[in-house]
Amino acid sequence: MTTSLPVPVVPAPTPAAPPATALPPAHAAALSVWPASARLVSRGDVSVAGVSLVETAERFGTPVYLLDEGEVRERCRTYTRAFPDTDVVYAAKAFLCRALLHWVQEEGLGLDVCSAGELELAVTTGFPPERIVLHGNAKSPDDLSAALRLGVGRIVIDSAWEIARLATLVPAGARQKVLVRVVPGVSAGSHVAVRTGTDDQKFGLSLTDGSAQHAVARILAQPGLELTGLHCHIGSQITTVKPYLTALRRVVGLLAQIRQQHGVVLPELDLGGGHAVAYRPGESALDIPSFGSRIRRELATSCAAAGLPVPRLTIEPGRALVGPAGVALYRVLAVKRTGNRVFVAVDGGMSDNPRPALYGVRYAPRLIGRRSTAGPCTATVVGRHCEAGDVLAPDVEMPGDVRPGDLVAVPVAGAYHLSMASSYNAVGRPPVVAVHEGRARLLVRRESLADINSRDLGL
């Protein structure tokens, strides 16, 4: 049963976007990483889901984030088509709000959360707790208590300490279903900070040193814990299927070992997420239909070779569902030419997108709202914060006459921007606006100075 969501709707309808024009090849390539609904319209504007970005900036102010509802839903359907008879679980850490919960629930997905806060938001929105998986390398007693109180479907055990801690919290006579997060010894991911499949990082229990096997034995000895399967997540922004196949074979090997040592056949296997998207034209993304067919085929083959029944498969896409559905809009505040460098400073920055500072990620920003006849220049788009590292996009092509007041749009902004945002320099976090079928509605309001100040109780 779907619960109505208390999502605020801005009363005034968005004016119809100017008619879209046929895209010349150069423009089509430039919009290749944008939502599929993106169209070049008059006066240098771009529309997403039939909504003008220029009019959106005027109506809601900047910075502002747009989220294309149709793009999110179609990406959910791509996964459910590629993975039939599989639990597709949205990794909420990528971005979470009540409307998005509603969309993914309607599309038949489960949910992966990492804290009591994410869990409470989901359950109070009406998301079925039995379809929720709780993750985290250092879950607090409050996290575990909330999971038990709210009836979360699965808890992923990430350390030996967590076994005893959780077992003491399970009420007498009850049983909590758990998975063990296994480190399969596979290195994958676009940056060292997002590689989680090897023993030199904080997540999971190692296959190599026997930690995973020891955890399995301890859980099986706990009457309040029901071990239902194994979990592994090897990294993020992974573009090829090969490391997943290697990890799958090693985890199936552990399933066979568990059956041999304990006489237990575990019915579930969770392969995590980490599926790459393209942030700039020409970059690679993971081919989800091909990925789905190869993973399911390899799972059947590996289990047959081990004499095991095929377990129920779970996957956990996050970025791949919402990243390409988001667009961030900024207003240019200043343009500075220093020596051979051009700096374009906008009214957002690392407070709403810390990813360039954390991972060195690269974007393809675009000037919108006017047609420039000036030749291009190489510019660095920077934020407004008092940090030399507050750089949103280094060395990108911009019109040579870029000036204060211009609008800059950054595509592929739906994941790990606002979910990692802060109020650094007492700058409030931007609002989130859903666009769908020619209309815009406010999902998350702008964080005001009053919001920030209200937490300070004074002397």
pLDDT (tens place) for every residue of the chain, 459 residues total: 333 334 344 444 444 444 444 444 445 567 999 999 999 998 899 999 999 999 999 999 999 999 999 999 999 999 999 999 999 999 999 999 999 999 999 999 999 999 999 999 999 999 999 999 999 988 999 999 999 999 999 999 999 899 999 999 999 999 999 999 999 877 554 445 444 445 565 677 988 888 899 999 999 999 999 999 999 998 888 999 999 999 999 999 999 999 999 999 999 999 999 999 999 999 999 999 999 999 999 999 999 999 999 999 999 999 999 999 999 999 999 999 988 899 999 999 999 999 999 888 999 999 999 999 899 999 999 999 999 999 999 999 999 999 999 999 999 999 999 999 999 999 999 999 999 999 999 999 999 999 999 999 987
Inside any domain, residue 6:
no
| Predicted pLDDT at 61 | 98
| Predicted pLDDT at 12 | 45
Residue 244 belongs to domain with CATH number: 3.20.20.10
Inside any domain, residue 9:
no
Same domain flag for 281 and 233: yes
Q: Which residue is listed with tokens 């660095």?
A: 380
Amino acid at 440: A
Same domain flag for 299 and 336: no
| Predicted pLDDT at 186 | 73
Burial of 164 (0-12, 13-18, 19+ CB in 10 A): exposed
| Predicted pLDDT at 196 | 47
Residue 431 belongs to domain with CATH number: 2.40.37.10
Same domain flag for 299 and 391: no
Domain end (from 317, 332, 365): 317
Q: How far apart are CA 320 and CA 277, in angstroms?
A: 6
Same domain flag for 218 and 355: no
Sign of CA dihedral 20, 432, 123, 215: positive
CA angle 434, 438, 441 (to 5 degrees): 30
111: its two tokens? 């949910």
Inside any domain, residue 62:
yes
Q: How far apart are CA 378 and CA 257, in angstroms?
A: 57
Same domain flag for 353 and 444: yes
CB 169 within 8 A of CB 141: yes
Inside any domain, residue 74:
no
| Predicted pLDDT at 187 | 58
Task: Using alpha carbons, select from 137, 269, 165, 141 the residue that is nearest to residue 224.
Answer: 165
Inside any domain, residue 132:
yes
Same domain flag for 207 and 252: yes
Same domain flag for 192 and 127: yes
Same domain flag for 290 and 421: no
Task: Using alpha carbons, select from 265, 200, 207 the residue that is nearest to residue 232.
Answer: 207
CA 377, distance to chain mean position in Å, is 32
Q: State how far the alpha carbon of 67 is from the alpha carbons of 70, 447, 448, in Å.
A: 9, 18, 21
The residue ranges of DSSP E strands in 268-411, in sequence order, are 268-270, 312-315, 326-338, 341-346, 366-368, 376-382, 391-399, 407-411
CA angle 337, 362, 432 (to 5 degrees): 95
Q: How far apart are CA 242 and CA 248, in angstroms?
A: 10
Identify the bridge partners of residue 329 per DSSP, sorted by sequence position.
64, 409
CA dihedral 421, 446, 277, 385 (to 10 degrees): -50
267 lies in which domain range? 83-317
CA 191, distance to chain mean position in Å, is 16
Domain end (from 293, 317, 341): 317
Inside any domain, residue 443:
yes
End-to-end CA distance of the chain: 48
Same domain flag for 212 and 292: yes
| Predicted pLDDT at 188 | 52
Is there a catalytic annotation at residue 386? yes
Task: Using alpha carbons, select from 334, 427, 424 the residue that is nearest to residue 380.
Answer: 334
Q: How far apart are CA 262 and CA 220, in angstroms?
A: 9
Inside any domain, residue 12:
no
| Predicted pLDDT at 29 | 66
CA 340, distance to chain mean position in Å, is 37
Domain end (from 317, 349, 381): 317
pTM of the model: 0.90
Q: How far apart are CA 366 and CA 329, in angstroms?
A: 10
Task: Using alpha carbons, select from 383, 400, 367 the residue that is nearest to residue 333.
Answer: 383
Annotated catalytic residue, options 97, 303, 377, 386 = 386
